[in-house]
Amino acid sequence: MNILLLSKNFNYGGIIENIITLSAKLNNRGHNVIVATYKGTNKIDNLTNNGVGHNLINFNINNPFVFFQSVKKLKNIINENKIDIVHCHFRVCCLYMEFLQKFSKIKVPYVWSNHLNNIPHSFIHKIFTFSGSKVITVSTDLKEFLIGKLGIPADKIEVVLNGIELNDFIPPDESKKLELKKKFNVEGKKVITLLGRLAEVKGHIYAIQALAKLKKDYDIKNIVLIFTGEGKKNYKESLIQESEALGVLSNIKFVGHVKANEILSISDLMISPSLNEGFLNAAVEAFAMKVPVIRTNTAGYLDMAEVCVGIEVGDTVALAKEIINIVIDNVDTTDIKNKAYEFVKNKCTIDVRANKLLDIYSKVIVK
């Protein structure tokens, strides 16, 4: 099968990691996979190193000249590679495919994956939301959003949970764990990790405030709160200022871009106080590493509610309480960690996801 995946950018984030993992898996199964994106980072090397083709397309609908130029380029890619199915990972990419289907001889089917909750859904957005033959969404919550806010028929939507390469997330032995603790300079510490980019939507401020609540009643000198990823400089500076004002700056480490499996190897707990999510890939990675997870009940929570701890957005009291239970009081989390691992193994591997997507692709092509 010749498969074309479209993404409007290729910067850091869960969507891009998903595309990288998925394209590599499909390619390894003998399918010809090409990814077309606009702006990107060195993440593009992750594609080419896995034998996946890459093309640059500017998915800009604001400039008519660029739009028609990109449509032509997309048409050429489809024809030259005899593409059987196009998988759009951003809504704007669907507009290009819809234009090609209506105004050219290109009749290749396409599907749309919606990865994000609460995307714009005004009357105008509804009119210009094209979704192809099928809509694939990454959580039960997102399916309800698409039905209720964008009016997409329920029978057109398939829920396919995100997946990871399980072999990339194997808990290390004690010697490797000690080596990594030394690398991140957290020997002898209890480590809480907020795994994700440095952006306001990830709720770092609530993690800082929860840590400050702990400090009122507990000695937290041996607790380290790790923030991963990169973001805008002024946002990082605002987090530093808030941490300093609340007296917890010495408990916080900014480590930048790291390998998820490495940072989770040394983590006693992963937290996600996000304001908004589509699914939360980081939780799945933590489950695979048998690290307990506290997350907000944003999109994706319903699918994993039985294997993690859920809190309301902005509820720093609840977040602090759950951190106390797991990190300070050392409540036994063995059962929930084992259940979480089984959840990943049965529902959230890249093999499971690839199987479901290939089945959808095949049915769409046949139609």
Q: Classify the C-alpha dihedral 279-285-287-291 as positive or negative.
A: negative
| pLDDT score, position 209 | 98
* Three-state secondary structure call for residue 222: coil
Residue 109: C-alpha distances to residues 94, 102, 283 (Å): 11, 12, 33
Extract the tokens encoding 248. Answer: 């917890």
Nearest-angstrom CA–CA distance, 72 and 64: 12
- Domains belonging to the chain, first-starting first, are 2-163+349-366 (3.40.50.2000), 166-347 (3.40.50.2000)
| Secondary structure percentages of the chain, helix, strand, coil, to 5 | 50, 20, 30
| pLDDT score, position 41 | 62
Residues contacting 232, CB < 8 A, separation 6+: 198, 199
| pLDDT score, position 277 | 92
Nearest-angstrom CA–CA distance, 36 and 77: 9
| Paired strand residues for 223 | 190
DSSP state of 82: T
Nearest-angstrom CA–CA distance, 73 and 244: 51
| Residue 256 φ/ψ region, left for φ over 0, alpha for ψ in the -120 to 50 degree band, beta for the rest | left
Q: What b/e string do you get for 281-302 counting C-beta neighbours within 10 Å, with b at 16 or more? A: bbbbbbbbbbbbbbbbbbbbbe
Nearest-angstrom CA–CA distance, 308 and 292: 7
DSSP per-residue codes, 264-332: HHT-SEEEE--S--SS-HHHHHHHHTT--EEEESSTTHHHHGGGSEEE-TT-HHHHHHHHIIIIIS---
367 residues of the chain, pLDDT tens digit each: 999 999 988 776 778 888 989 999 999 999 999 999 987 666 788 888 888 989 999 998 888 999 999 999 999 999 999 999 999 999 999 999 999 999 998 899 999 999 988 888 999 999 989 999 999 999 999 999 999 999 999 999 999 999 999 999 998 899 999 999 999 999 999 999 999 999 999 999 999 999 999 999 999 999 999 999 999 999 999 999 999 999 999 999 999 999 999 999 999 999 999 999 999 999 999 999 999 999 999 999 999 999 999 999 999 999 999 999 999 999 999 999 999 999 999 999 999 999 999 999 999 998 6
Give the predicted TM-score (pTM) of the model: 0.89
| pLDDT score, position 15 | 83
